[in-house]
Amino acid sequence: MGAFDPWDPAFVADPYPAYAELRARGRVEYFEPSDQWLVAHHADVSALLRDRRLGRTYLHRFTHEEFGRTAPPAEHEPFHVLNDHGMLDLEAPDHTRIRRLVSKAFTPRTVERLQPYVRELAGRLVGDLVEAGGGDLLKDVAEPLPVAVIAEMLGVPEADRAPLRPWSADICGMYELNPSRETAERAVRASVEFSEYLRELIAQRRARPGDDLISGLIAAHDEGDRLSEQEMISTCVLLLNAGHEATVNATVNGWWALFRNPDQLAALRADPTLVPTAVEELMRYDTPLQMFERWVLDDIEIDGTTIPRGAEIALLFGSANHDPEVFDRPGTLDLGRTENPHISFSAGIHYCIGAPLARIELAASMRALLEQAPDLAPVADPQRNPNFVIRGLKGLDVRVG
């Protein structure tokens, strides 16, 4: 069994045995290389996500200096301005305000209305894959589907969509542990370009509103309150990035798990009514986002250990999703699992706003692949991305027929 080491490819390939060791050792453990406290049990991860003594940011209460941290270098400013005005990196009251405004435009009804479009697009992408006799499931289906859906929702014209994925990938590099200088430079460049593009698009929608989400965000108001220009830009980037990164990985991680569990895949093919529980189980079994961090805003105690204000906690979602105290035989893929309180969409105030959309997308591509490619099979073992937090594959080559 390997140790917890997010920079070790062997750990990244299969972190679950190391998580089991961590859980067996206790409820909280200091990890010196990233200066974080690791929390690996489901009950603790779930409780801490709801604990207001923790936050995704501390800047609503303290300066960097007061919190004992150094401000990020000035040259990273474009990334931080973008990131720090999105709801994911805000706490109350700004988080509450922005999430409420965004929820006015991004409603369950707008998502539900998309259902036929998502199904039709999934069918078309899978149809092309089948016609070609196979291809890369990531590039041909998993990626284009959520990118097109969120771009369509926001009203990003088709001709402008090519840079969305590279911008997003470059920005997401900053969410890994200790990003390199080169990663930071790429993220800053992407932040500048992405922001400029959206500023222009928002100006166009202000002049000529449509029935897209950007127009909805411009119109959204609440007791006289509106999103500022920067909040609009940050929200669009967040929706575009969060709206596809995890879905792409959940799709390919899920299919790779199915290929490695042929009995489960056969059961799913024989009974497609399993699709809803299969989607949840695959998100649990190989968790697409393995870890989220929280700052300790006021001292907390876990199992007799005091974690002081200013410390950082790493909530290990992948471990929580494999905790035998909550999941019967957690290492077994069971597509019919009905009791499945996985934490892949988080919990508390930052619970994923896009979860209903993600579920529609994952089910649509799964159904299309089951129906149109009943003999879908991998061509070779895929290569894994070296990243720990955003867990995914470089590609997944498949054949049909």
Please report whether residue 346 would count as binding ligand HEM according to CB under 6 A: yes
Please report whether residue 261 would count as binding ligand HEM according to CB under 6 A: no
Residue nearest to ligand HEM (CB): 354
- Of 197-205, 296-304, 340-348, 373-381, the window that binds ligand HEM (rule: CB under 6 A) is 340-348
Please report whether residue 319 would count as binding ligand HEM according to CB under 6 A: no
Whether the CB-CB separation of 111 and 103 falls below 8 Å is answered with no
How far, CA to CA in Å, does 238 sit from each of 158, 231, 274, 335, 372?
A: 19, 10, 31, 31, 33
Q: Which residues contact 114 (CB under 8 A, 6 or more apart)?
A: 149, 152, 153, 357, 360
Comparing C-alpha atoms, which of 227, 235, 205 is closest to residue 86?
A: 235
The least distance separating ligand HEM from the CB of residue 95, rounded to whole angstroms, comes to 6
- Of 59-67, 214-222, 242-250, 265-273, the window that binds ligand HEM (rule: CB under 6 A) is 242-250
Q: Where are the alpha helices (DSSP H) in 303-393?
A: 317-320, 355-372
Helix (H) or strand (E) holding 377: strand 377-378
Considering only residues 46 to 65 of the shown chain, the ones binding ligand HEM according to CB under 6 A are 56
**Token match 């056969």: residue?**
266
Residue 198 or residue 353: which is nearer to ligand HEM going by CB?
353
Binding mask 275-294 for ligand HEM (x = CB under 6 A): -------------xx--x--
Q: How far apart are the first and last CA of the chain?
A: 38
Bridge partner residues of 308 (DSSP): none
Residue 201 or residue 250: which is nearer to ligand HEM going by CB?
250
Please report whether residue 88 would count as binding ligand HEM according to CB under 6 A: yes
The least distance separating ligand HEM from the CB of residue 102, rounded to whole angstroms, comes to 7
Summarize as ranges the residues that interact with ligand HEM (CB under 6 A).
Answer: 56, 87-88, 99, 150, 238-239, 242-243, 246-247, 250, 288-289, 292, 344-346, 350, 352-354, 357-358
